[in-house]
């Protein structure tokens, strides 16, 4: 079987595994980013380093597929730019707010996905989606302390996590709107634009004097490269391939592994407070993502 066949034939079982494992790996994505921040590679520069290294290693695929990549035109660039900006905003959010708040605000994506699907793809918002949106809104209010006033995100990290969820829903909608885009083309464009955006953000918000020097980069490069080559790149390819193979309800269910992994890993590895409020937020926002899967099965079971 050729690479082209693997990436274009429908393999429902493999797609489920790809999204399941992809969500779990994304749930650990905050760990190397915070480690880089502690090592002196802070803010957008941590994302820039991560994605630049990934771009270098995936460059051969860009060269192999240069002609179809260029033929993708504006559509492939917009898709890659949206996903790249999502990754930058999402990964940087972990540096400016606590891990659980970042992941829960990001996972309000069922709300934004339903809205984008309605506005752009003319998909109807089903009653099950409305229930999911309701759970998502209530969950957001709980974790943002509705009892203390209107639940605005409390800091820049919260706003970034919320924005990242909106951007991811937009990017996912674009992959469905333009299904002819090749997986490797999307992934390579994803890394390219995230690198560009991260460098621009670093220069604007942190200044040229904050660019990490070789003395700072070299000590971390030995563990960063294996993580990127063995985990990050395969995970991105798997997610990008698997997402269009499954309906939104199923993929949303599988990606929910990220919430559990983030919550457990943050509880073990950080001193961040995870109490009743955060656990309730996990439950409510998980239900927002699962509504499209659970409710139809409950109706069939009657």
Mark 175-198 as b/e (b = at least 16 C-beta within 10 Å).
bbeeeebbbbbbbbbbbbbbbbbb
Residues 242-268 pLDDT 10s? 777 765 555 666 676 677 777 778 778
Mean pLDDT of all residues in 8-12: 55
**What does the alpha-carbon distance between residue 282 and residue 258 come to, in Å, rounded to a whole number?**
11
Alpha helices in 121-209, H assignment, sequence order: 127-143, 156-177, 183-201
Q: What is the mean pLDDT of the chain?
A: 81
Asked if 87 contacts 194 with a C-beta cutoff of 8 angstroms, the reply is yes
C-alpha 276: how far from its chain's center? 25
Residue 226 clears pLDDT 90, i.e. is over it: yes
**What does the alpha-carbon distance between residue 266 and residue 232 come to, in Å, rounded to a whole number?**
20
Overall pTM surpassing 0.75 (yes/no): yes
Q: How confident is the model at residue 77 (pLDDT cuts 50, 70, 90)?
A: very high
Asked if 225 contacts 71 with a C-beta cutoff of 8 angstroms, the reply is no
Residues 83-117 pLDDT 10s? 999 989 988 888 888 887 787 788 777 778 778 87
Residue 294: how many CA atoms within 13 Å on its side-chain side?
A: 11
**CB burial of residue 299 (10 Å; 0-12, 13-18, 19+):** exposed
**What does the alpha-carbon distance between residue 253 and residue 9 come to, in Å, rounded to a whole number?**
22
Residues 140-151 pLDDT 10s? 777 766 666 655
Tokens of 142: 């709980």
Mean pLDDT of all residues in 55-78: 88
Q: Residue 204's CB: how many other CB atoms inside 10 A?
A: 9
What are the structural domain ranges in the chain?
11-301
Residue 113: how many CA atoms within 13 Å on its side-chain side?
A: 26
**What does the alpha-carbon distance between residue 145 and residue 154 come to, in Å, rounded to a whole number?**
9
**What does the alpha-carbon distance between residue 173 and residue 86 come to, in Å, rounded to a whole number?**
13
Higher pLDDT, 291 or 74: 74
| 67 Cβ contact partners less than 8 Å away, ≥ 6 residues apart | none
How far, in Å, are 35, 57, 82, 235, 258 from residue 228 at the CA level? 14, 9, 21, 9, 18
What pLDDT score was predicted for residue 160? Answer: 93
Name the DSSP letter for residue 256: T
**CB burial of residue 267 (10 Å; 0-12, 13-18, 19+):** middle
**What does the alpha-carbon distance between residue 132 and residue 152 come to, in Å, rounded to a whole number?**
20
Could you tell me where the beta strands, DSSP code E, fall in 50-99? none
């Amino acid at each position: 079987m050729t690479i082209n066949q693997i990436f274009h034939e429908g393999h429902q079982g493999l797609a489920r595994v790809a999204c399941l494992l992809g969500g779990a790996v994304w749930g650990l994505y905050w760990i190397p980013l915070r480690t880089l921040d502690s090592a002196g590679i802070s803010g957008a520069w941590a994302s820039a380093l991560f994605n630049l290294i990934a771009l270098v290693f995936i460059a051969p695929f860009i060269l192999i597929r240069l002609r179809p990549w260029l033929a993708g035109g504006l559509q492939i660039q917009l898709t890659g730019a949206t996903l790249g900006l999502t990754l930058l905003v999402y990964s940087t959010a972990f540096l400016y707010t606590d891990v659980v708040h970042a992941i829960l605000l990001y996972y309000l994506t069922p709300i934004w996905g339903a809205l984008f699907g309605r506005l752009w793809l003319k998909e109807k918002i089903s009653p099950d989606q409305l229930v999911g949106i309701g759970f998502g809104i209530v969950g957001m209010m709980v974790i943002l302390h509705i009892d203390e006033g209107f639940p605005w995100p409390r800091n820049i990290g919260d706003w970034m996590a919320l924005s990242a969820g909106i951007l991811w829903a937009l990017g996912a909608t674009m992959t469905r709107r333009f299904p002819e885009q090749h997986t490797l083309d999307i992934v390579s464009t994803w890394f390219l634009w995230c690198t560009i955006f991260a460098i621009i953000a670093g220069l604007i918000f942190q200044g040229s004097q904050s660019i990490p020097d070789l003395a700072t980069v070299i000590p971390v490069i030995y563990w960063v490269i294996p993580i990127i080559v063995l985990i990050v790149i395969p995970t991105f390819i798997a997610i990008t391939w698997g997402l269009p193979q499954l309906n939104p309800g199923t993929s949303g269910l599988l990606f929910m592994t990220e919430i559990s992994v983030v919550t457990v890993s943050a509880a073990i590895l950080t001193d961040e407070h995870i109490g009743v409020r955060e656990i309730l937020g996990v439950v409510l926002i998980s239900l927002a993502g699962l509504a499209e899967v659970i409710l139809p099965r409950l109706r069939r079971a009657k």
